């Protein structure tokens, strides 16, 4: 039988271990005022519950032990006690009100996205995220950057192999950023624990959230709504940087976008289109149609040796630009730019033995999109 001091030592050891491993046992404190408010609220309510539990179970076990039948205890007979009943009603009400007031204030602050310094549209797509910096003419798609070989364990990978992306969401610190969130296909959920944002993206609706990050760094998250076969391959990476560094990044992205737009009007060689197309295909298309175009029928048809794809260029181009209604194939007219669409169509028409010899120029794609 343990002595009281032994129980105290055990409890103290467990408490110390909990403190040492708080990051793995508990929710993260986070890097925003909102995340810290949520963490503080969480810990306050946790300890309130612990105290209530200790008192209630302490009294219960004491009564069971002190007045057990084997010691000859006799059951008391009594009727109502108004004062006690009022007391055990009033105390829980006060406790609940004490928890509700800060919780309500925190919730009110969480949903106040007014007076933002920057607006970003976040669109969920199977199985990637699209970020559009409203008013800045910057938009790009963020995809899992890990190769299929790494996912299958056939090549070396690090601890973040399912949480690495090719294009992170870049945000400035100390500025309020409003998120407008929707989806192109099914319900997704944009979730990054350390910045305390978890918001469903729903087709046909625009939800609103916001963040103001206090510390620069890399913060990782994941789609938190089961959204299809590749749900587990839909990570989120937020890169928070100093304001001056962010402004430099913004200018570089604008210049890159201008250069990309200029590329629409020039004639591209097939070698250029093939090289660019392979990058786009591996980043955007391979998750469904597989790395070598073998597909995963019937949902994701094979592209290698596909007779209709090989023989019908207009049909092929239309499928990429406008998608297929009621099927898993999305429209890429608003996701990829004309250069990327032209490149990936050219690549898929000439890779894996298709060898049609066709090239699609960005100007042709731009005309089709404008129709």
Q: 131 and 121 in contact (C-beta within 8 Å)?
A: yes
Q: 195 and 219 in contact (C-beta within 8 Å)?
A: yes
Query: Does residue 206 or residue 280 have the better pLDDT?
Result: 206
Count of CB atoms within 10 A of residue 270's CB? 15
**DSSP β-ladder status, 128-133 and 177-183:** unpaired
pLDDT confidence of residue 197:
95
Whose structure tokens read 């100093």? 242
User: Which CATH fold topology does 266-370 show?
Assistant: Cytochrome Bc1 Complex; Chain D, domain 2 (1.10.760)
pLDDT confidence of residue 80:
80
**DSSP β-ladder status, 217-223 and 235-241:** antiparallel
Hey, where are the domains in the chain? 28-67+81-110, 118-261, 266-370
pLDDT confidence of residue 12:
40
pTM above 0.75, yes or no: yes
**Can you tell me the distance from the alpha carbon of 264 to that of 284, in angstroms, rounded to the nearest whole number?**
20
pLDDT at 9 over 80: no
**Can you tell me the distance from the alpha carbon of 196 to that of 190, in angstroms, rounded to the nearest whole number?**
11
Closest CA to 279 of 356, 358, 360, 166: 166
Q: Which tens digit of pLDDT belongs to each residue from 208-265?
A: 999 999 999 999 999 999 998 889 999 999 999 999 999 999 999 988 888 877 788 8
Q: Which of 74-83, 134-143, 165-174 has the highest mean pLDDT?
A: 165-174
Q: Which tens digit of pLDDT belongs to each residue from 113-162?
A: 999 999 999 999 988 999 999 999 899 999 998 877 788 787 888 888 89
Q: 354 and 305 in contact (C-beta within 8 Å)?
A: yes
User: Which CATH fold topology does 118-261 show?
Assistant: Immunoglobulin-like (2.60.40)
Six-digit token pair at 95? 């406790």
pLDDT confidence of residue 23:
56
Q: Could you tell me what percent of the chain has a pLDDT over 90?
A: 51
């Amino acid at each position: 039988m343990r002595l009281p001091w032994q129980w105290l030592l055990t409890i103290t050891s467990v408490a110390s271990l909990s403190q040492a491993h708080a990051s793995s046992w508990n929710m993260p404190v986070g890097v925003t005022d909102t995340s810290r408010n949520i963490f503080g609220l969480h810990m306050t309510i946790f300890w309130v519950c612990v105290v209530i539990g200790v008192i209630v179970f302490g009294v219960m076990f004491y009564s069971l032990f002190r007045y057990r039948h084997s010691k000859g205890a006799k059951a008391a007979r009594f009727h109502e006690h108004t004062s006690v009943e009022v007391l055990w009603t009033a105390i829980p009400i006060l406790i609940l009100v004490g928890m509700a007031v800060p919780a309500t204030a925190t919730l009110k602050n969480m949903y106040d996205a007014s007076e933002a310094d920057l607006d970003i549209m976040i669109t969920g797509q199977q199985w990637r995220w699209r970020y559009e910096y409203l008013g800045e003419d910057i938009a790009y798609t963020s995809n899992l950057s890990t190769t299929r070989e790494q996912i299958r364990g056939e090549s070396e990978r690090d601890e973040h192999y399912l949480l690495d992306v090719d294009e992170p969401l870049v945000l400035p610190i100390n500025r309020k950023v409003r998120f407008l969130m929707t989806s192109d296909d099914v319900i997704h959920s944009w979730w990054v624990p350390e910045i305390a944002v978890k918001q469903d993206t729903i087709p046909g609706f625009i939800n609103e959230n916001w963040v103001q990050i206090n510390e620069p760094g890399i913060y990782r998250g994941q789609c938190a709504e089961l959204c299809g076969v590749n749900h587990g391959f839909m990570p989120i990476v937020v890169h928070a940087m100093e304001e001056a560094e962010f402004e430099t990044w913004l200018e570089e992205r604008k210049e890159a976008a201008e250069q990309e737009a200029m590329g629409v009007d020039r004639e591209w060689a097939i070698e250029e289109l093939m090289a660019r197309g392979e990058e786009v295909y591996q980043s955007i298309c391979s998750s469904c149609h597989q790395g070598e175009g073998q597909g995963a029928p019937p949902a994701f048809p094979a592209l290698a040796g596909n007779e209709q794809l090989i023989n019908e260029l207009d049909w092929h181009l239309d499928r990429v630009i406008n998608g297929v209604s009621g099927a898993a194939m999305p429209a890429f007219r608003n996701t990829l730019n004309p250069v990327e669409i032209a490149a990936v169509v050219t690549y898929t028409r000439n890779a894996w033995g298709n060898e049609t010899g066709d090239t699609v120029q960005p100007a042709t794609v731009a005309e089709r999109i404008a129709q």
